[in-house]
Structure 1
Amino acid sequence: MTGHDPIDTSKPHPARMYDWFLGGKDNYPVDEEMARQLLELNPLGREMAKCNRAFMHRATRWLGAAGVRQYLDIGTGIPTEPNLHQIAQEVAADSRVVYTDNDPIVLRHAEALLRSSPEGLTDYIQADAREPDRIVEQAGKVLDFDKPVALSLIALLHFVPDEDGAHELVRKLLAPLASGSYLVISHTTGEFDPEGSEKAAALYKAKGVPLALRSRDEIGQFFEGLELVDPGVSLVAEWRPELGEVVPVPGDGLIAGFVGVARKP
């Protein structure tokens, strides 16, 4: 772990807004204000955050059952139990997990992220997702890249526009991983409400946060060259609901996000 940067409370941060949507206390008025504005555009914001989290739990259970024992989770967010390492180590106590985020408030909570089973190991890297080389170098001290690793990008890539090198970023993170590794993505989409999505993107942009709401096909491009696990790129609630933790959504509301898990051949 490196450095203790000051927390910037002048503009909202996705990790802290996510925390607010999940009912956490580690956020600031600037985060709550923006989150409430987003709720006006999409009243299912809280359910969206919960569905994302439930997908991460289901995907981690599936990966553990498939034999994965190493995880690299980028854009970790503020710890909400159970976290990825708790699910992974529940399946296999010797699982190793490396978390990465760029918000100092997540760094403050790293201790909670680092509570591992005695047989396993968890570590935390303070780094920006757009520093893949640094992340790979640091993670390589904990993870064995000669064995499969699950690369987890939950609710991250919609904050990395194409012009910021989103596809190159994913390629660089996957490149050192062994055959049999997996890529896990959850990603918000603007496909179902283009007008509301444009307003949300403008809101983020005004606060200095880029937002890239991709379509199902565009999200599918991140998995090129990989073998998608059934049911492929699917709506967040429709990815293997039998693994548990499906969040009820009021009315016939639709959670506007796609998810996928794919294996590196």
Structure 2
Amino acid sequence: MNTLDNPMAPRAVSPEAGRNVLAIASGKGGVGKTWFAITLSHALTRRGRKVLLFDGDLGLANIDIQLGLMPRYDLGSVVSGKMTLNQATFPAESTGFDVIAGRSGSGSLANIPPSRLQLVAEDLVLMGREYDHVLLDLGAGVEKAVRQLARAAGTILVVTSDEPTALTDAYAFIKITAIERPEVDIRVVVNAANSTREGERTYSTLLKACQGFLRIAPPLAGVVRRDTRVRESIRNQTPLLTRYPNSEAAMDVEALADRLLAG
């Protein structure tokens, strides 16, 4: 079923979740989650979709840094009540999608009261109706604020790598999410794999743990191969699909976007 392409697709989600909201999560930091969120947003935009990318990493926001942007307003302005989410939205002209930036280099948003964070999440779902897709880049880990924001999403992509700690933490995130929201659509992305086959083996390890202990089988959304040009694009604050559109990692994310749209 085309769960991303058709926001009216009949799938059970929690009442507050946006069916077109896709959360990008990871149990462990450093697995390329933010880069992946940016590149997937770009890939969807290149397919004619209207996309909003929301920086939900409340402690270490850096979407604007990776894109070389200097936002006048950010999520901090929204939380403080100075403006609405819509007013804090701005276009990332190099990619074609819209962005709501976090507060870079500051942990001030990490202690948002749960009630205020809930209002932000609800507003994001409402505002998301103006878009084909809303991508929510979550902070790493399984803290309460991360899980609370994740409830805004109808689909969650859990990004991991082949490192044992990354797999363990990805499993922890899937476990807690599956317990709290057994109806949610969870899928796995293996990033920085040495090859597609190696990535599939990494996924198989995680799948066996999920099947054996949780009795669930989150599908593989895709494998993104390790590519030195990813680091180069981040260093140059230029999207990979712009700087190196024919690189292996770029082609892998493009293919993953196609599969998401196909259901």
Band of TM-score, shorter chain: 0.3 to 0.5
Output the TM-score relative to the length of structure 1: 0.39
| Higher relative contact order (CA closer than 8 Å, sequence separation 6+) | 2
Output the TM-score relative to the length of structure 2: 0.39
